[in-house]
Amino acid sequence: MKAVILAGGLGTRLSEETYLRPKPMVEIGGKPILWHIMQILASQGIKEFIVALGFKGEVIKEYFLNFYEINNDISINLKDGKTTVYQGKQPDWTVHLVSTGLHTQTAGRLKRLESWLCKEDCFMFTYGDAVTDLDVGSLVKFHQTHGKLATVTTVRVPARFGRIAFDEDQVTSFDEKPHAAEGWINGGFFILRPLVLDYIKGDECIWEREPVQKLALDGQLMGFRHEGFWSCMDTLKEKNILEEHWNSGKVPWKVWD
């Protein structure tokens, strides 16, 4: 299974960090949060990633082009420029870095990846700014058993996030950000079938609005309730909280060895 990761937004609510780099490259414990997300998924069997680039996408390209040098010890002979990389344990990943436009909205970025996804049975779709101890295997199994087009991972976070209503496991409404909401919210980490791309009209389409709301109205959206850890990194405060977790040595999203 492939995972699509959105990495093209402007990250305006984290402007203290994102004026030089895209939000998925903001570091937790010295590693980009994008790396943490990939580690979470790869440790549970997803090792092929399509990263949808936009704002400062060249920073992400440079990181992966220099991945071995960045993540290993190196020696440089300054006389002749010869470089030796001392390779350590490296991830067995395939990473596709695809430019999806500077101002394209979330669903529009997914639509632009249609040629990468049309032959897939299903794929993961998530954001480049949230970490979790999600059991990916259980999520995929849940998706495969209900036969609908889409599954959204739902988590419990208080009111500033949108609210999701259920009838058993079927999502009956998907309100992006109501004025007052508590309970289950969109935690990202969708499992989708390629037919969901038919719900996307173009670059200006926002995934969390028309496509997801229409999927819910059509009875094609199911919710997988995740009771464990989840945190996004929308603000500097949230970034600092994740950094504190990492520095404490008790990292709830570190599901890899």
Q: How far apart are CA 217 and CA 229, in angstroms?
A: 29
pLDDT at 169 over 90: no
Burial of residue 241 (CB within 10 Å: 0-12, 13-18, 19+) is middle
pLDDT at 184 over 80: yes
In sequence order, what DSSP letters do the residues of the chain get, joined into one string?
-EEEEEE----GGGHHHHTSS-GGG-EETTEEHHHHHHHHHHTTT--EEEEEE-TTHHHHHHHHHTHHHHHSEEEE-TTT--EEEE-------EEEEEE--SS--HHHHHHHTHHHHTT-S-EEEEETTEEE---HHHHHHHHHHH--SEEEEEEE--TTS-EEEEETTEEEEEESS-SS--SEEE---EEE-GGGGGG--STT--TTTHHHHHHHHTT-EEEEE--S-EEE--SHHHHHHHHHHHHHT--TT----
Is the CATH number 3.90.550.10 carried by domain 2-80+93-233? yes
The answer to whether 133 and 35 have CB atoms below 8 angstroms apart is: no
Q: Which residue bears the tokens 């030089």?
A: 20
Question: What tokens appear for 155 in the block?
Answer: 């988590």
Q: Domain locations in the chain?
A: 2-80+93-233
For the segment 121-147, the average pLDDT, to the nearest whole number, is 97
Q: Which residue type, as a one-letter code, is found at position 26?
A: V
- What pLDDT sits at residue 17? 67
Q: Which residue bears the tokens 């040098």?
A: 69
**pLDDT band at residue 179 using 50, 70 and 90 as cut-offs:** very low
| Each residue's pLDDT tens digit, 62-88 | 999 999 888 889 999 999 989 898 877
13-27, 171-185, 198-212: least confident range: 171-185
**Non-local CB neighbours of 40 within 8 Å, separated by 6+ positions:** 131, 132, 133, 134, 136, 253, 255, 256
As beta bridge partners, residue 50 has 4, 96
